[in-house]
A and B are shown apart, each in its own frame.
Chain A
Amino acid sequence: MSTEDDTLRPEDFADAALAAITDAAGHDIAGAAGLLAEAGLLGISAAEDDGGLGLGLEFALSLAAIAGRENLGFPFVEQMLLARAFAGTPQAAALIAGELVATIAWQGDVGLGLASQAPFAGVCGAVLVARDGEAVLFERESLQVSEDPALDPERPQSWLGLAGAREIAVLDTEGFAALRREARLLQGAYVTGLAEAALETTAAYLETRTQFGRPLSAKQAVRHSLARMKLLVEKNKAALARALAADEFGAARDARAAFVTAAADAGFVLERAIHLHGAMGFTWEVPLHRALRAVRKIDAAFDTPAALRGLGKTFIDAA
């Protein structure tokens, strides 16, 4: 990284990123990929040799939060992760340029013959699937995709059959472990972005919704609900920023606690946001339900209830 880059901060990208992300939201997957690539977002933290910007992961984290706020219909986090993980391969260059759109099956394994929880698998060109510690990037065309619209009919979850799957590239065990650690940070930022946007929408709504002759935001019960939501959002942002940074002794921090908690709290914030909108929150028109579905899909993708238990068990075993 050049000295000039060292003075660059993630905030400096925020406006341009937001513009590109809102723009991308109005396009199909290929169009969105082109726009995001053009703005330099897909390779923000990927190697410069592959066409990326070579900036630290804090930049990707900040973009993930913005994409979360916009609930972008694109496997943005997955694409950024893959572009970093496959550094030095033609796939990385294609991912950064937006010529290839790829996603990650967060559950399943080649050994089981089944994979699932790959966001936007139906419209992607490639899917990464775990294989006994390492991971394989498969051509999506070669997989049997069956969609599950129960939670989200617009952006369904999917089950992937792997019979006859064609390999594009392999990510070694170390690379896949690093990708999973980074995924917790970026997905944590993504769900916290979803929660933060919902909180802001809800606070703004309650400042204008008048009942009992006053805005509902004047009621202490409402204010306290919003204050708790704000606390959780701020706390999770701080915890994720902390997990990203090395400790005093230079060691990387575990991101599990920050991620699992961020996901659980995002669900809570979204549910409260819907409640605080009254019947309006129950409508299709108010997009809070979309954000809730997005959070719940991430919960399913990472099996956060089990991860929470695992966090406890790990601490108990180490005590």
Chain B
Amino acid sequence: MTYQTDVTIPDPAQGRELYRAHARSWLAANLPEHMRSDSLAYRAPTLEECTLWERAMHRAGLAGMTWPTEYGGFGLTLREHLAVNKEIGALMMPESVGSVGKELAGPIIMAVGTEAQKAEFLPRILRLEDYWCQGFSEPDAGSDLARLRTKAELEGETWRINGQKIWTSGAMKATYCLLLARTGTVADKHKGLVMFAVPMNSPGITVRPIKSIDGKESFAEVFFNNVEVADSLRLGAPDEGWSAAIRVLSIERATNRMYRPWRFEAELRSLLRACKSDAVLARRLDDSDVQRRVGEIVGQIDGLKGLIEASVEHLESGAPIGARGSLSKFYWSECHQAFAGFAYDLLAQVGPQSSPLARRAKAHFTTGYLFARAETIYAGVSEVQLDIIAQRILNLAKDK
């Protein structure tokens, strides 16, 4: 597959709409039909196909919009990032295979990394020469992340890592792990946490895939047995790990996958098109309950767009992310999970007698329904988001 690379990247100073228009036309012209999950030509893309696609997107100015040009970015603002994400969302394209690098590791390295680390890692992330995974959660440290045990001990210029991570998405393909470990004991809680960029080919690392609800091996256990990591791979000060982790998580909730409401809208549209293509399903669309439910979903999508755009304006005004991301993380995951149930129910009776598009939609939305179970869990469970809103946005008293 070859992609259009002789691209003139517009200057947003010439007009706010230019970047979005550029993203729209480039994506429409270049996204292969077989990668569109609402197309009859769809087949699951390989890792290599996804990688080549994302590299082409980067060359077209559709990744790294906000990153400095010296690190391979385009030196623009979150507004262009948002404009591009709206168009990424509008098409039913595969999820990024480099999102942990681009949306978590990259921003954190930018924030706390040394100059050498930035020069080393950031361009490789954008060019998708590395795949990153996020090594935070452990068997005994889920929602209560501060109880993590993985130990990091400094011996001269080298750290020795021992412990276990779990639920590490994409660990099988990862070349680097954004690892959170501790220098002291569990009793220190938030103190003494330290973050590293650990090469996944380091001796002593074992990755054991875990089969997930959708039948895929999307995450893994990762064991660290006397893994040696050079001090030059430490990200931020030894005591900065917690604040860096909190920043990663705030970013994860506030700016990660900003395309979500626009993708949600594209999914709703593709579901309805599939229904219209089938005589039996088309009749269900006349049902006033279905219309009301679609109306609710349209309202939720609209509200999510509002939350995301407000966050972008908030950040562009120089304000810190704070707890705002919890509003969109909670609302998106709850609404989208409910939508996935609605889509599944609508398509449940689709079979060999149904239209080809309805059968394609059934395959897509059945997996989607199962995968949506994770949405209220990963990046912080819903209950924790509500705790954060109560504590940090409403400032509710706990005790008098």
Contacts and interface: CB of A to CB of B under 8 A. Distances in A.
Interface of A: 203, 206-208, 210, 214-215, 217-218, 220, 223-224, 226-228, 230-231, 234-243, 248-250, 257-258, 260-261, 264, 305, 307-313, 315-316, 319
Nearest to A217: B396
Contacts of A241: 306, 310
Contacts of B17: 248-250
A309 B387 contact: no
Given A227-B394, A230-B393, A215 B273 contact: no
B283 interface: no
B322 to A, nearest CB: 12
A248 B391 CA distance: 35
B296 A308 contact: yes
B299 A311 contact: yes
Contacts of A238: 303, 306-307, 309-310
Contacts of B301: 257
A205 to B, nearest CB: 12
Contacts of B390: 223-224, 226-227, 230
Contact of A239 (B83, B302, B394): B302
B141 interface: no
A312 B174 CA distance: 42
B6 interface: no
Contacts of B268: 315, 319
B173 interface: no
B59 interface: no
B302 A313 contact: no
B272 A240 contact: no
A228 B297 CA distance: 17
Interface string B356-400: 000000000000000000000000000101110111011011111
B242 interface: no
Given A203-B394, A217-B398, A223-B396, A258 B306 contact: yes
Contacts of B290: 312
Chain B interface residue count: which class? 35 or more
Given A242-B310, A319-B276, A312 B294 contact: yes
A76 B160 CA distance: 68
Interface in B270-309: 272-273, 276, 285, 288, 290-307, 309
A315 B294 contact: yes
Contact of A319 (B273, B309, B398): B273
Nearest to A251: B17
A263 to B, nearest CB: 10
A248 B397 CA distance: 41
Interface of B: 16-17, 20-21, 83, 268-269, 272-273, 276, 285, 288, 290-307, 309-310, 327, 330-331, 383, 385-387, 389-391, 393-394, 396-400
Given A315-B272, A319-B269, A242 B305 contact: yes
A236 to B, nearest CB: 7
Contacts of B292: 305, 308-309, 312
Contacts of B306: 235-243, 258
A223 B383 CA distance: 10
Given A241-B310, A243-B302, A316-B285, 5 more contacts: A223-B394, A239-B302, A242-B305, A308-B299, A319-B268
A231 B294 contact: no
A226 B396 contact: yes
A84 to B, nearest CB: 24
Nearest to B15: A248
A114 to B, nearest CB: 25
A107 B32 CA distance: 50
- Among B307, B391, B393, find the residue whose CB has the most chain A CB atoms closer than 10 A: B307
Given A249-B17, A260-B295, A260-B299, A231 B269 contact: no
Given A218-B398, A223-B386, A242-B306, A311 B295 contact: yes
Contacts of A203: 394, 396
B283 to A, nearest CB: 12
10 contacts: A203-B396, A210-B400, A215-B399, A223-B391, A235-B307, A239-B306, A261-B296, A261-B299, A305-B292, A315-B294
Contacts of B303: 235-236, 238-239, 257-258, 261
Contact of B386 (A224, A261, A311): A224
Those 10 A-B pairs whose CB atoms lie nearest each other, nearest first: A312-B294, A312-B295, A238-B306, A261-B299, A239-B306, A223-B390, A319-B272, A257-B302, A311-B295, A227-B389
Given A223-B387, A312-B292, A231 B330 contact: yes
Contacts of A264: 296, 299
Nearest to B291: A312
A231 B301 CA distance: 14
Given A207-B396, A258-B302, A310 B272 contact: no
Contacts of A215: 397-400
A235 B331 contact: yes
Q: Which residue, of B272, B306, B383, has the highest number of chain A Cβ atoms within 10 A? A: B306
Nearest to B83: A248
Given A315-B268, A319-B272, A319-B276, A257 B400 contact: no
Nearest to A254: B302
A82 B269 CA distance: 37
B288 A309 contact: yes
Nearest to B297: A312
B298 A311 contact: yes
B291 A316 contact: yes
Nearest to A260: B299
A234 B307 contact: yes
Contacts of A207: 396-397, 400
Given A203-B396, A234-B307, A235-B327, A248 B16 contact: yes
